[in-house]
């Protein structure tokens, strides 16, 4: 079993619950109230700023130039590509990018991003990749899950969101992160010492 699949297996109850969460189900159907989607997007806009910082920290600690370049690119794409999606919705709500990023973080969002930033500060490049992996991997899985019967209708209110996270380009991101996390941690986290396995699992599952 691959390293990333080992982590996913350990987190199976949490992983499976995400696909049937009422928010996710309603998002896919297009029945999610816009006020709830707006709340999520505004929180995600705040989250992405910290995620870009995490990728940048990973680039600084990367073991080789290719990994450093890719993590730097991920930091840029997090800001440019995903922020573009958010700003598109922001224009619908007559909000500027500055206004969107000025929205206070929810306690859960704050707690999660502090966890990621703490790993970025003290962890290795491999650990940083692992702590950021659930975001890319879960979004990809949800995007494909919601579009398993085909692309959304042209008038689907959240079509742009669904199309981005079900795209081949986004799938490639999580595939690279899964492979790179394993190769950068080639000393065998979960096989070398039980303690190391628990630490990495905690970073992934939180």
What pLDDT digit, counting tens, does each position of 179-201 carry?
Answer: 876 665 554 444 444 335 555 55
Give the span between the Cα atoms of 88 and 10, in whole angstroms.
37
- Residues 89 and 38 sit within 8 Å (Cβ to Cβ): yes
- Domains in the chain, ordered, with CATH? 3-205 (1.20.910.10)
Provide mean pLDDT across the span 52-57: 96
Please, which pLDDT band fits residue 4 given cuts at 50, 70 and 90? confident
What are 61-103's pLDDT values in tens digits?
998 999 999 999 999 999 888 878 888 999 999 999 889 989 9
Structure tokens of 34? 């816009």
């Amino acid at each position: 079993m691959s390293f990333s699949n080992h982590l996913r297996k350990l987190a199976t109850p949490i992983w499976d619950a995400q696909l049937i969460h009422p928010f996710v189900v309603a998002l896919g159907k297009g029945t999610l109230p816009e006020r709830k989607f707006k709340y999520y997007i505004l929180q995600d806009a705040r989250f992405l700023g910290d995620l870009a910082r995490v990728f940048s920290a990973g680039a600084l600690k990367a073991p080789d130039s290719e990994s450093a370049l890719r993590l730097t690119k991920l930091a840029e794409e997090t800001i440019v590509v995903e922020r573009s999606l958010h700003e598109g919705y922001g224009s619908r709500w007559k909000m500027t990018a500055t206004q969107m990023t000025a929205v206070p973080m929810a306690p859960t969002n704050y707690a999660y991003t502090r966890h990621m930033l703490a790993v970025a500060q003290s962890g290795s490049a491999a650990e940083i990749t692992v702590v950021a992996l659930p975001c890319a991997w879960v979004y990809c899985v949800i995007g494909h899950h919601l579009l398993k019967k085909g692309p959304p209708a042209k008038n689907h209110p959240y079509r742009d969101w669904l199309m981005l996270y079900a795209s081949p380009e986004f799938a490639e991101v999580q595939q690279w992160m899964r492979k790179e996390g394993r190769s950068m941690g080639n000393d065998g986290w979960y096989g070398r010492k039980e303690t190391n396995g628990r630490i990495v699992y905690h970073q992934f599952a939180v």
